[in-house]
Amino acid sequence: MPRTTRPTVAVTAGLTALLLAGCTGGSSADSGGKGFAGAVPGRAQAGATPSATPTPPPSGPYVALGDSYTAGMQIPPQTGEPSGCFRSGVDYPSLVAKGLGVASGQFRDVSCSGATTEDLTGPQTTGNGRNPAQLDALDADTRLVTLGIGGNDAGFMEVVLECAKDNLVDAVKGVIKQTHAASPCRDHYSAADGTDEVQRKVDTAGDRLGRALQDIKRRSPQARVYVIGYPTLLPADPSSCLPVLGRTVALPDLGFLVEKEKQLNGMLKKHAEDAGAVFVDTAGPSAGHDMCAGEGERWIEPPFPARGLAPIHPNAKGQEAVAGVVLKAVRG
């Protein structure tokens, strides 16, 4: 999710540094597997009950849109232009295209690390090159669109970093005052009216996503559109993360992060359904494969990732697993 024109790799690197100083992520929504284009009704025979003729999965043109969770940040082989998008040749869109038998000339992956919904309609400047507006890859011939975006709009990676920082500051205060806040990160984002800043950002991201989905429908009215949710980052029981994260972040604040990710995915699901697109849940299938799972089981790298991989981002196994969930949804 990180944005290259804002804190991106630096955000996750900063999180790693903070953590080192303190201690040692289903099924698609019930839309029949059909996006905007919908199902094609079958012809009713005389005296027979009308039945729907299954629509075969599209074989292209296929356009993949999204941020670093789509692009496969730092997963080798890195490919495509600009290089600052950190796009992998084995990200889930590439695997979906292969699984559907989409010809190379019929597939365009324009996802880019750091992308927000604003980068769907305007160019994105990265640390190494400029990515054109992602929606410019669409046209009237497009038959399949996958979209994985929203985390950067909601500032989710910044929230993770803020939680690490708040807990570190609270730990220092605790040494001096001998008192600790139960949930310093939640306290940081809480407002007097009971809402929090993260929820406000998620709601704003939802409004932008809704407009983007309408734009996709206008540009590619025959396309089947799938909004891809974010995989489970933390387990439902945050205490199981203690061996990986230590006690740098209070357990209630780990629970706060779990809650915020659920809100983010809930927003994506709602706006996908409102727009007539299909929401693909990856949080359910990735349960038990979060960043705190063992190295052989995890689909998301922890703050201390395997060599060369991006912290708190999907690894190759995670991209392959998400591709399987998306293929299942597209094939109906």
Closest residue by Cα to residue 71 from 131, 11, 10, 140: 131
Q: Active-site residue 68, yes or no?
A: yes
Q: CB of 219 within 8 A of CB of 135?
A: yes
How buried is residue 78: exposed, middle or buried, by Cβ count under 10 Å (0-12/13-18/19+)?
middle
For every residue of 51-101, DSSP letters joined together read -EEPPPPP-S-EEEEESHHHHTTTPSSB-SS-GGG--BTTSHHHHHHHHHT
Considering 188, 271, 289, 313, which one is annotated as catalytic? 313
CB within 8 Å of 275: residues ≥ 6 apart: 36, 210, 213, 214, 217, 225
How many Cβ atoms from other residues are within 10 Å of residue 80's Cβ?
Answer: 19
Q: Which structure tokens are listed for 91?
A: 């990200």
Residue type, 57: P
Distance CA 56, CA 70 (A): 24
Residue reference for tokens 């992308």? 115
Considering 28, 68, 111, 286, which one is annotated as catalytic? 68
* Helix (H) and strand (E) counts in the chain: 10, 9
Q: What is the side-by-side strand order in the sheet with 224-228?
A: 107-109, 62-66, 144-148, 224-228, 278-280
Longest Cα separation, the chain? 84
Q: Active-site residue 289, yes or no?
A: no
Active site residues: 68, 313
